[in-house]
Amino acid sequence: MNTDRATRRGRPGYDLPSLLAVAVAVFNERGYEATSMEDLSRRLGITKSAIYHHVASKDELLRLALDRALSGLAEAAEEAAALDGRAIDRLEHLVRRSVHVLVERLPFVTLLLRVRGNTAAERRALDRRREFDHLVGDLVRQAAADGDVRPDVDPAAAGRLVFGMVNSLTEWYRPRGGLDAAAVADAVCAVAFDGLRGRAAAPPP
Amino acid sequence: MNTDRATRRGRPGYDLPSLLAVAVAVFNERGYEATSMEDLSRRLGITKSAIYHHVASKDELLRLALDRALSGLAEAAEEAAALDGRAIDRLEHLVRRSVHVLVERLPFVTLLLRVRGNTAAERRALDRRREFDHLVGDLVRQAAADGDVRPDVDPAAAGRLVFGMVNSLTEWYRPRGGLDAAAVADAVCAVAFDGLRGRAAAPPP
């Protein structure tokens, strides 16, 4: 789309990223299934054919949006897998980087976490989430084998719980709420790896 | 409904709890908005008028379902608030009891956590969730004032993270998966309050 011309006409000009951002906001509000191209056209203030200038279909918008979340998480996973050092430290790195991805791509990850596998794009996204979960499971098991994870918690459950904490950001974190990504990542790692309980309160040995 | 007669006719007989269980399963699969009484009738294998024998509307099914989740959480909250002892122990009690409620009423809490406030019943449910969140926030702040919570984590974020972990059960816990409610509650409390990291791995003082 020629942005200059669109602006001269008094209509908003979109490039693909800005169009995608609006589409994802609408998908999150109304649900992907319940959103029509007509709804998107109304919200964007441009015609359907102007949308089709950027993407072939609503499904392509979904794929692009899910990829934006998944590529961030995949980069975090590759980075963690490539690190030297103990599995527990690679796991902590993965948690920290994942929090950054969630905070920086919050609407995209929110959409990803609501996907239930109704379309090919959704099933592909679920497969990629499953790969990520496997990496988490492998890291927790390796950390447990190293003796770095408390022995009284099932490693599979532990990985789910820690990422349950990370994923809860999509439910309550608001960018304007005060805490920045680094502060949230610190809080998640502090609670997940060392626990909420203040050490000072422990009885003397 | 006269169950004997329904059985004689070769149709399934439902009382309100069994009808509600099926309705909640369908709401969770398809979404509440997208589910019609016609869909419910097909899935239940009974006529719509047989459903109206039990409830006045789809909205009443939603209210009953959300109440089933909320009443469990409200009981857990009252129990925790009435306990003697330190706030951190009341908080741990609340987390433990909440895990039991989630495990025992999983489809109902799953529905509750997806509610976005589109109807009066949903807004009332969100208000009751907010009351619960306030109690959690109060307990964490009190525990922090007692010196029982690590000082480097914002109390509001801490409460959200711990219950993010609890609520993640609706995403991954499966009753036939092996762990029972008590084992899951132990795992959640172990990770949330004392952290995933094995103490044995800590450097000697």
Q: Where are chain A's structural domains?
A: 3-55, 67-196
Integer Cα distance of B196 and A82 in angstroms: 22
> Of the candidates A147, A186, A196, which has its C-beta nearest B192's C-beta?
A196
Measured torsion, CA atoms of residues B200, B201, B203, B205, in degrees rounded to the nearest 10: -20
Contacts of A172 in chain B (CB under 8 A): 160, 164
CB pairs under 8 A between A and B: 150
Q: With an 8 Å Cβ cutoff, is A32 touching chain B?
A: no
Q: What is the pLDDT of residue B11?
A: 54
- In this predicted complex, what is the ipTM? 0.88
The band of B83, judged by pLDDT with boundaries at 50, 70 and 90, is: very high
Cross-chain Cβ contact B171/A169 below 8 Å: no
Which CATH superfamily is A67-196 part of?
A: Tetracycline Repressor, domain 2 (1.10.357.10)
Q: Inform me whether the pLDDT recorded for A4 exceeds 80.
A: no
Which residues of chain B have a CB within 8 Å of the CB of A201? 88, 146-148
Indicate the average pLDDT of chain B.
91
Kindly tell me the number of DSSP H helices and DSSP E strands found in chain A. 11, 0
Instruction: Give me the mean pLDDT over the B169-194 stretch.
Output: 93
Contact B33/A33, CB-based, under 8 Å?
no
Of A31-35, A39-43, A59-63, A132-136, least confident by mean pLDDT is: A31-35
Own/partner pairs, A72-75, CB within 8 angstroms, 24+ separation: A72/A101, A72/A104, A72/A105, A72/A108, A72/A109, A73/A98, A73/A101, A73/A109, A73/A132, A74/A128, A74/A132, A75/A101
Interchain contact, A150 vs B88, CB within 8 Å: no
Measured in Å, how far apart are chain B's first and last C-alpha atoms?
A: 69
For the domain with range B66-198, which CATH number is right: 1.10.760.10, 1.10.357.10, 3.40.50.720, 2.40.50.100?
A: 1.10.357.10
Q: For residue B12, name the pLDDT band (cuts at 50, 70, 90).
A: low
Contact yes or no for A50/A72 (Cβ under 8 A) = no
* Chain A CB within 8 Å of residue B174 CB: no
Q: Measured between CB atoms, which of A154, A165, A198 is closest to B164?
A: A165
pLDDT value, residue A184? 96
pLDDT tens readout for residues B18-54: 999 999 999 999 889 889 999 999 999 999 999 999 9
- Check pLDDT > 80 for residue A200: no
Residue of B146, B153, B190 lying closest to A190 (CB–CB): B153
Six-digit token string for A132: 């990520």
- CA-nearest of A101, A99, A95, A102 to A193 is A95
Q: Which of A9-13, A78-82, A160-164, B113-117 has the lowest average pLDDT?
A: A9-13
- State whether residue A49 is helix, strand or coil: helix
Beta bridge partners of A149: B197
Q: Closest to B149 (Cβ–Cβ): which among A171, A179, A197?
A: A197
Planar angle of CA B104, B109, B113, nearest 5 degrees: 155
Q: What is the pLDDT of residue A7?
A: 44
Architecture of domain A3-55: Orthogonal Bundle (1.10)
As a whole number of Å, the end-to-end CA separation of chain A is 70
Nearest to B172 by CA among A142, A182, A163: A163
C-beta of residue B41 within 8 angstroms of C-beta of residue B51: yes
Kindly report, residue by residue over A144-186, the tens digit of the pLDDT.
999 999 999 999 999 999 999 999 999 999 988 678 999 999 9
* Residue A78: alpha-carbon gap to chain centroid: 15
Is the CB of residue B102 less than 8 Å away from at least one CB of chain A?
no
Pick from B151, B160, B188: which is nearest to A161 by CB? B188
Q: Compute the distance between CA of residue A164 and CA of residue B187 in angstroms, rounded to an integer.
A: 13
Quick one: average pLDDT of B143-162?
94
Which residues 104-143 of chain B have a CB within 8 Å of chain A? 140
